[in-house]
């Protein structure tokens, strides 16, 4: 046991955070990080369904099954934009930190709540306001810029709806910054007695590194997005060549945030995977320090690689070469993590419940995503692949294959803690098989399409790309089906699942030392920590 006995005579009473106060109002005004986490869950899941709808629309159109195109070019471009903007800004970025992070972080630290509970609730409502603002552009004035809003297309050639969308993203950025700030202070100030920095779980190291990126990088995006608004409404001309501005400057600003944002998406996923692999191998994590410090290293290097999105933008050859070499450095801490996770399984006792399957799926997909990242980091190779389907396949393997697999695994893993019930393991496994298979059928052919030269964001394409596009579309429906099964499994689990014990997986971190679901303030007595977080002896 890594921690002191936290189970008291109250541990099994029926009083918990879910029934601590009742009615909608008690949820809407709650300061409990666990409830706020669940509210993010519901919000992000809803947005995910909308983003998924656009994805299926895009893929169905590209299959060209009928004689007539399913969408008009403009509608297609809008679908593509909404799919990207929703999935990036409203699902993958907040998904793990704001939902799983909010739920898990204070309990794993042995804290009663985050450092600033009111700020935490405010962050949620800021997120909702931003999402609503962004969504209003779907209704009032649709946007077709793609989620990257490249100038001068976004400022000179498209509808004013872009202002709504970027202001939505701007607003959501505040939520991200405030959540990051909250997590950093919580991690530093509210650890349980005995929990030194080298005893915090790896999930927290990952969230901590992510938070640093959030508070340092997000303001850059905020300013950049404001500049788009200013350019469009006031014609300030920073990005307008006719007024002496530079359109490529926007790309520098944008990727200075959005490249680190890729790690806002993937670092928390790596945190989840670290928890899952050790818990389901029943073995101490291999190389705790290496995994922890590699998270920090990835966060640090992530600020220095943005120019690899711009090898063909007209930036100098020398700049391209410098960004290429720094980008290669990211590969090292990433490889370290993969090796550490695999070594954790060595001489462990591995079981294969649904969360573990998702973790293994993550390893498989993320390895492919990571290796193809090396192709793109190499300048000479990237010139051919840049803005083709190879890139589309690569970042879906990393962000969807990586982050969403981790998110699903995390949901099944912490589900008993959240709701005090188990999900059907069979349901979880079926959804895993469908998502995992569907994912590879959808995105693997896209590597080949990219190598063949098919550019991304194409409404129409050459006949030789047809077969692979159709295979890809079939795969996308398998993914859709998989998430549907997952959704049913989760809803069924919430209402009809078997009662969960306090520690159904036999894990060692602090959240499993309190009751399922935990009481309002997480622990009935403050736990004392005497050893590292994964002490499976």
Partner 1 sequence: MSWSSLIPATSFMPIQATEIAKEVDLLYAFLIIASLVSFVILIGGMTWFLIKFKRTSLDQKSAYITHNNFAEFLWSFIPLVIMMGIFYWGMVIFEKLRTPPEDIAAEIHVTAEQWAWTYRYANGKEFYSSGNDPMIVPAGKATKLILTSKDVIHSFYVPAFRTKQDAVPGKLTQLWFEPKQPGEYIVFCTEYCGTKHSGMMIKIKAIPSEEYAAWYHAEKKGADTPADLGKVLFAQKACASCHSLDGSRIVGPTMKGLFGSNRKFADGSQTKADENYLRESILVSSAKIVEGYPPAMPVFQGQLSDADVANLIEYIKSIK
Minimum Å gap between C-beta 462 and partner 1 is: 8
**Of residues 78 and 520, the one with the C-beta less far from partner 1:** 78
Minimum Å gap between C-beta 88 and partner 1 is: 15
**Of residues 21 and 146, the one with the C-beta less far from partner 1:** 146
**What Å distances lie between residue 284 and 40, 357, 427, CA to CA?**
31, 19, 29
Q: Which two tokens stand for residue 6?
A: 């936290």
Minimum Å gap between C-beta 275 and partner 1 is: 16
Minimum Å gap between C-beta 228 and partner 1 is: 14
**Of residues 313 and 526, the one with the C-beta less far from partner 1:** 313
Confirm if 412 and 8 have CB atoms less than 8 A apart. Answer: no
Helix H, strand E, coil C: the string for 88-101 is HHHHHHHHHHHHHH
- Chain centroid to Cα 149, Å, comes to 21
Minimum Å gap between C-beta 332 and partner 1 is: 5
Rounded Cα–Cα distance for residues 487 and 494 (Å): 11
- Start-to-end CA distance of the chain, whole Å, equals 9
Q: How many residues does the chain have?
A: 537
Q: Which two tokens stand for residue 431?
A: 């959804």
**Of residues 114 and 357, the one with the C-beta less far from partner 1:** 357
Q: Which two tokens stand for residue 443?
A: 């995105």
Minimum Å gap between C-beta 256 and partner 1 is: 18
Rounded Cα–Cα distance for residues 166 and 150 (Å): 12
Q: Which residues of 478-515 are buried (b: 16+ CB within 10 A; e: fewer)?
A: bbbebbebbeebbeebeeebeebebbbbebbbbbbbbb
Helix H, strand E, coil C: the string for 437-458 is HHHHHHHHHHHHHHHHCCECCC
**Of residues 50 and 350, the one with the C-beta less far from partner 1:** 350
**Of residues 24 and 318, the one with the C-beta less far from partner 1:** 318
Minimum Å gap between C-beta 160 and partner 1 is: 15
Minimum Å gap between C-beta 339 and partner 1 is: 4
Minimum Å gap between C-beta 200 and partner 1 is: 16
Confirm if 438 and 477 have CB atoms less than 8 A apart. Answer: yes
**Of residues 257 and 323, the one with the C-beta less far from partner 1:** 323
Q: Which two tokens stand for residue 152?
A: 């001068």
CA atoms within 13 A on the CB side of 57: 19
Minimum Å gap between C-beta 360 and partner 1 is: 7
**Of residues 175 and 344, the one with the C-beta less far from partner 1:** 344
What 3-state DSSP class applies to 388?
strand
**What Å distances lie between residue 201 and 204, 387, 468, CA to CA?**
5, 38, 43
**Of residues 219 and 287, the one with the C-beta less far from partner 1:** 287
**Of residues 337 and 417, the one with the C-beta less far from partner 1:** 337
What 3-state DSSP class applies to 64?
coil
**What Å distances lie between residue 76 and 161, 284, 431, 464, 520, CA to CA?**
16, 49, 29, 21, 47
């Amino acid at each position: 046991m890594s921690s002191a006995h936290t189970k008291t005579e109250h541990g099994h009473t029926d009083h918990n955070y879910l029934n601590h106060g009742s009615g909608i109002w008690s949820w809407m005004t709650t300061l409990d990080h666990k409830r706020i986490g669940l509210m993010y869950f519901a919000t992000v899941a809803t947005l995910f369904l909308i983003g998924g709808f656009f994805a299926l629309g895009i893929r169905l159109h590209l299959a060209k099954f009928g004689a007539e195109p399913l969408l008009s070019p403009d509608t297609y471009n809008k679908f593509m934009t909404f799919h990207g903007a929703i999935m990036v800004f409203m699902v993958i970025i907040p998904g793990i930190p704001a939902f799983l992070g909010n739920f898990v972080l204070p309990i794993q630290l042995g804290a009663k709540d985050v450092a600033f509970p009111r700020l935490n609730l405010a962050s949620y409502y800021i997120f909702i306001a931003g999402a609503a603002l962004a969504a209003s552009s779907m209704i009032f004035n649709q946007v077709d810029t793609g989620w990257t809003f490249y100038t001068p297309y976004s400022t000179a050639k498209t509808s004013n709806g872009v202002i709504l969308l970027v202001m939505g993203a701007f607003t959501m950025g505040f939520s991200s910054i405030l959540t990051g700030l909250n997590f950093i202070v919580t991690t530093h100030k509210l650890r349980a007695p005995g929990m030194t920095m080298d005893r915090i779980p790896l999930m927290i190291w990952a969230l901590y590194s992510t938070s640093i990126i959030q508070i340092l990088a997000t303001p850059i995006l905020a300013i950049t997005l404001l500049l788009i608004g200013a350019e469009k409404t006031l014609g300030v001309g920073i990005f307008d060549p006719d007024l002496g501005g530079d359109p490529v400057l926007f790309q520098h600003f944008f990727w200075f945030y959005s490249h680190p944002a890729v790690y806002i998406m993937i670092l928390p996923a790596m945190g989840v995977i670290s928890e899952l692999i050790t818990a389901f191998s029943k073995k101490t994590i291999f190389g705790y320090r290496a995994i922890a410090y590699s998270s920090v290293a990835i966060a640090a290097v992530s600020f220095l690689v943005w120019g690899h999105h711009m090898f063909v933008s007209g930036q100098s050859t020398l700049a391209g070469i410098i960004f290429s070499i720094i980008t290669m450095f990211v590969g090292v801490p990433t490889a370290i993590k993969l090796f550490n996770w695999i070594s954790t399984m060595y001489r462990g006792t591995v079981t294969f419940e649904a969360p573990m399957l998702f973790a293994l799926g993550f390893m498989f997909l993320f390895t492919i995503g990571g290796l193809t990242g090396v192709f793109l980091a190499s300048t000479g190779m990237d010139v051919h692949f840049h803005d083709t389907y190879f890139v589309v396949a690569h970042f879906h393997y990393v962000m969807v294959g990586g982050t969403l697999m981790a998110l699903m695994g995390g949901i099944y893993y912490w589900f008993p803690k959240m709701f005090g019930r188990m999900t059907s393991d069979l349901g979880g496994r079926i959804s895993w098989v469908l998502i995992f298979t569907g994912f590879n059928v959808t995105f693997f052919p896209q590597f080949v399409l990219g190598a063949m030269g098919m550019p991304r964001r194409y409404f129409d394409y050459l006949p030789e790309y047809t077969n692979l596009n159709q295979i890809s579309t079939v795969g996308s429906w398998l993914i859709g089906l998989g998430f549907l099964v997952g959704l049913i499994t989760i809803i069924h689990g919430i209402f009809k699942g078997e009662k969960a014990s306090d520690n159904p997986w036999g894990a060692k971190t602090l959240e499993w030392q309190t009751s399922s679901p935990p009481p309002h303030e997480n622990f009935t007595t403050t736990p004392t920590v005497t050893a590292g977080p994964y002490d499976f002896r």
